[in-house]
Structure formats: structure tokens, C-alpha cells
Amino acid sequence: MVALIEEVFLNTFGRPAGAVCEDQARLQLAELSCMGDQLAFTTDSYVVDPLFFPGGNIGTLSVNGTVNDLAVGGARPFYLSCSVILEEGYPIEELRRVAQGMQQAADQAGVRIVTGDTKVVPRGAADKLFINTAGIGVIPKGVNLAASRAAPGDLIVTNGFIGDHGAAIVDGRGELALEHSVHSDTRPLNGLVEKMLSVCPDIRCMRDATRGGVAAVLNEFATAAGICIRIDERAIPVRAQVRGICELLGLDPLYLANEGKLLAVVPAKDAEALVAAMRTDPAGADAVIIGQVGAAPSGLVTLATALGAERVLDMLVGEQLPRIC
């Protein structure tokens, strides 16, 4: 059984020419060290219900998520690992589709999955399928993205419509029977980030707005840099379908997860040119400026509402729950 499963991954990911079949992947240092002066290394575990949703599956998510965690640090991602925990009896055919999703995402991002592991646990000991990926990338010399660098006067930029992934997951559970489905925005952002850094090397910091949504990232920035962030609700792009789902269930798109959206803090003088450059990339086609950085009150994120009033945009406690009525 385990051999069969490993075969699925090996056949899908392929064996690179000259690869050694040992207990570890062996990576050429010289290939990496000529790209920059810092290694970036990250890991994330992926658990999602449902495993397949409009616009992607746990496989595409597990590659894009880790690629993006590297990319928003300014790193060029190169290698990924893939560790899988399967519940006994999980259909091989579905697993093959997940592996194919991973390979497609890896091809799109230009990374290679070079090592992995598979464990099968008894029925009930895991929920169908969990994936962990880790990734290695190289940060080019001179690139220094850090939340602490955000400063008063800077502007906040995002690369497009927010909340798509979170809404797609709600929709994908099939409990709402919606007419117009929403597709997850899961995609690699490393190409876009490279373009952004080439246009504006002085970008202060970037994060991808996954769990906790845009609100969580902005609060992290504000806390890390001891600054205040003011965003304008009317400037934030939200698709009509996503708004519809949110209105129906009493959810706030600012707290919905994204899997292909980043937030960047950028010097005001470069912001317009940066947004224009981002819009030439498919991953940044709907890029906009959504707010600005102020000095005080430190650590606070505020939102100008549709009526022009200002309110606090806090971190979410626990998960967003649908409201009664």
C-alpha cells in the first residue's frame, strides 16, 4: 500500500536526471549561492475541508502557500518538500489528482519538489489527507523586507480582490447551493514579487494575507513597526459574489483567507509606478492602493467606512461564525 502511494508521488513529481535515491535530497550549493546571500526556509501544514474546491485543491494550496511564504520575504523559491499523512482507505485516484495539482503548481512557480514522505494512519486518526510542505529559497543581496521598516507616510498596496479563497471554501462545502460559485485565488506570487522588487527595491515589507485575512496582516504590520495604519473600505476590491456570501452569512471579507493576495508597505513616491507595474502581471492585474501608514496611535489599524466614519479594524478572535439572523 505505502509503496503504491509513494509511486503516485514519484511518478507525478518525476525523478530528475542524476538524482540519488537516498534518504535525503542533495542540493548543489553553488547553484544557490550565486543567486544571493541568504537562504530562506519555511514550512507549513495544510488541512482543508473540502480537499477539492472551486479553483484548486489541497495539493495546489500546499505548493502555492509555501512558495508565497518564501516570495513575500523577497526570496526566489527553488525547492520544496512534501510530507503526506493519509487516512487509511483514502482513494488513490483522488491522491493522484492532488499530486498532479502539486506538480502543476510547482511548474507554474518554477520550483521542484525534491523530497517527501508518506504515512498512512488508521481510519479516524486523521481526516482524509494532511500535507506538509517546506521550502527553500534564496534572498538576493540587498533585499531586506521587514515589517519593522514600515514608516509614517508609506502606502499600503494589495494585488487584487480579497476574500476569494475563504468564500470558495464556504461555497465548496456545498451547504449553500449558490448559483454563482467563487473560485479560490490560490496561485504562486513569486513572479509578481520579483517584478515588484525590480520596480521598487525599497519596498518596506510584504506578507500574504492567508488565515485571518487582510485584517490580520495589517495588525501584524502595525504592531511590529509601532505605527498606525488607516485603510479605506471603499478602496478595497471585493468581488460581488464574495460580498454576496458575506452579506448572507454575516461574514467580513477583511477576515476571509486569501491564497494569492499579498499586502505590501511601500514608499509613497514609488506607489503609483509600482501599482502600474503590478497590473502588467496576471497575479497583480487588479492591484490598488488601499491605505496609508501614520504615526499614531501606535499599533492600531483603522478603517474609513463607506459612510466616511472611522472605526478600528481589530484582529479576529477565533474563527468567523455565521450569524443567526
Partner 1 sequence: MKYLDEFRDSDKAQALLREIARLVPGIETCRQRPLQIMEVCGGHTHSIFRYGIDRLLPKNVELVHGPGCPVCVLPMGRVDDCVALAERPEVIFTTFGDAIRVPGSSKNLLQAKAEGADVRIVYSPLDALAIARRNPDREVVFFAIGFETTMPSTALTVLEAEQTGVRNFSLFCNHITIVPTIKAILDSPEVRIDGFIGPGHVSAIIGNAPYELVSKRYGRPLVVSGFEPLDILQSLWMLLLQMTEGRCAVENQYGRVVREGGNKPALDAIGRVFELRDFFEWRGLGSIDHSGIRIADAYASYDAERRFAVPDVKIADPKSCQCGEVLKGAIKPWECKVFGTACTPETPLGALMVSSEGSCAACFNYAGIRPGAPPRQVQSPLSNR
Residues near partner 1 (CB under 8 A) are 175-176, 240, 243-244, 247, 249-250, 297, 300, 302, 305-312, 314, 317-318, 321-325
- d(CA 295, CA 82) in angstroms, rounded, equals 43
CB of 4 to partner 1, least distance (A): 32
Measured from the Cβ of residue 26, the count of other Cβ atoms closer than 10 Å reads 10
Pick between residue 22 and residue 123 the one whose CB is nearest to partner 1. Answer: 123
CB of 28 to partner 1, least distance (A): 47
Q: What is the CA radius of gyration of the chain?
A: 20
Beta bridge partners of 136: 41, 79
- d(CA 78, CA 262) in angstroms, rounded, equals 20
CB of 256 to partner 1, least distance (A): 15
- d(CA 89, CA 287) in angstroms, rounded, equals 44
CB of 206 to partner 1, least distance (A): 26
Task: Confirm if 166 and 61 have CB atoms less than 8 A apart.
Answer: no
Pick between residue 215 and residue 277 the one whose CB is nearest to partner 1. Answer: 215
Pick between residue 16 and residue 318 the one whose CB is nearest to partner 1. Answer: 318
Pick between residue 43 and residue 305 the one whose CB is nearest to partner 1. Answer: 305
Distances (CA, A) of 236 to 142, 148, 158, 160, 243: 31, 24, 8, 8, 12
Cell of 58: 489541497
Distances (CA, A) of 296 to 194, 252, 284: 32, 25, 30
CB of 296 to partner 1, least distance (A): 11
Pick between residue 26 and residue 311 the one whose CB is nearest to partner 1. Answer: 311
What residues contact residue 305 under an 8 Å CB cut-off, 6+ apart?
A: 233, 311
CB of 36 to partner 1, least distance (A): 41
Pick between residue 151 and residue 312 the one whose CB is nearest to partner 1. Answer: 312
